[in-house]
Amino acid sequence: MSQLLRAKISSLGTYVPPRLLTNADLEKMVETNNEWILQRTGIRERHIAEKGIASSDLGVAAAKKALAALHMEPSEIEAIIVATVTPDMLFPSTACLVQHKLGAKGAWGFDLSAACSAFVYALQAGTQFIATGAHKKVLVIGSDVMSSIIDYTDRATCILFGDGAGAVILEPATNDSEGIIDFLHEVDGSGGCSLYMPGGGSMHPATHETVDQKMHFVHQDGQAVFKYAVRKMAELCEKLLERNGLKGSDIDVFIPHQANLRIINATGDRLGLRPESTIVNIERYGNTTAGTIPLAMETALEQGKLKKGSLVLLASVGAGFTAGATLLRWAY
């Protein structure tokens, strides 16, 4: 068996729609207030797509930035993986729509549904194509228009989510001092009833009744999700670090899924991370689901914390339940 290649992230692009929905705006829509939201989530504002703007549109905007950073033509992309829980439609896949809008002629692709863990799952799927030598240029996109499935009369969920996208291009690493090192993923379907959208699938196809019962919106048991996320995010990170002979203090940059500031802080404390290593931008974006980790990568770059050679830990927990952690060295 030939030796596997190491994949690296060679560029990053992000996009959020310009419209803002602030806590002050939400105060006028549901019974809540800025202090209550900040204390419980850490969120101050989130970006919301205009009507008719879909996940493919956000993903294409992010992908164009990632391509431009490398002066790469869309036709050079060989495979496209779109991580999303809000596809433009059930079929064709959002990856097909992205391919067409980008003009990535000759590329193939598919969607990956793992909710808030979807980006790290898609990143690893793309990594395998590079590792085996099947492809040399893979586009991985995390894009969600969560506002399209949120009930803005439900204060338990409408305060949490925003819209956004991020894209990375994966290529073979030139040496072992850069690129994706290792990962751990896990699913636990027993938590499926704690965070889900019951309507619209084969179990509950769309009818007047499913619409009237608000089954096409996100439903969440906040306490169950919080408890699982606090435990599982730290647990997977600990296992991954131990497997690679590392401890929390070795990590230069920790980029967690941005769902709740309390979950992020609890994970950092348990891992023994240096506080300054943890990237937090939830205040500006809320939970953009598959978009949170690439958006946080962009924040880390803006803050000067993410540099060539940085040892980076990614972590996420999402509906399903899904969970994942990725260890890598930043390549540029």
- 154 φ, ψ to 5°? -105, 100
Residue 287 a catalytic site member = yes
Residue 96 a catalytic site member = no
Cα-trace Rg, the chain: 19
Q: Are 289 and 118 in contact (CB under 8 A)?
A: yes
Helices (H) and strands (E) in the chain, counts: 11, 13
In order of 86, 128, 192, the CA distances from 143 in angstroms are 8, 21, 21
| Unique residue bearing structure tokens 């809008």 | 101
SS3 at position 7 = strand
Name the catalytic one among 96, 116, 158, 237. Answer: 116
Name the catalytic one among 219, 257, 260, 281. Answer: 257
- Structure token digits, residue 132: 């085996």
| C-alpha to C-alpha distance for 93 and 304, rounded to whole angstroms | 36
Name the catalytic one among 23, 260, 281, 287. Answer: 287
SS3 at position 228 = helix
| C-alpha to C-alpha distance for 175 and 242, rounded to whole angstroms | 23
- Structure token digits, residue 31: 């019974």
- Structure token digits, residue 191: 């938590």
CA dihedral 200, 19, 298, 183 (to 10 degrees): -10
- 261 φ, ψ to 5°? -60, -35
Task: Provide the β-strand partners of residue 317.
Answer: 323
Residue 34 a catalytic site member = no
Q: Are strands 108-112 and 79-83 parallel, antiparallel or unpaired?
A: parallel
Query: What number of residues does the chain have?
Result: 332
The CA-CA-CA angle for residues 121, 15, 152, to 5°, reads 85
Q: Are 316 and 166 in contact (CB under 8 A)?
A: no
**Which residues are tagged catalytic?**
116, 257, 287
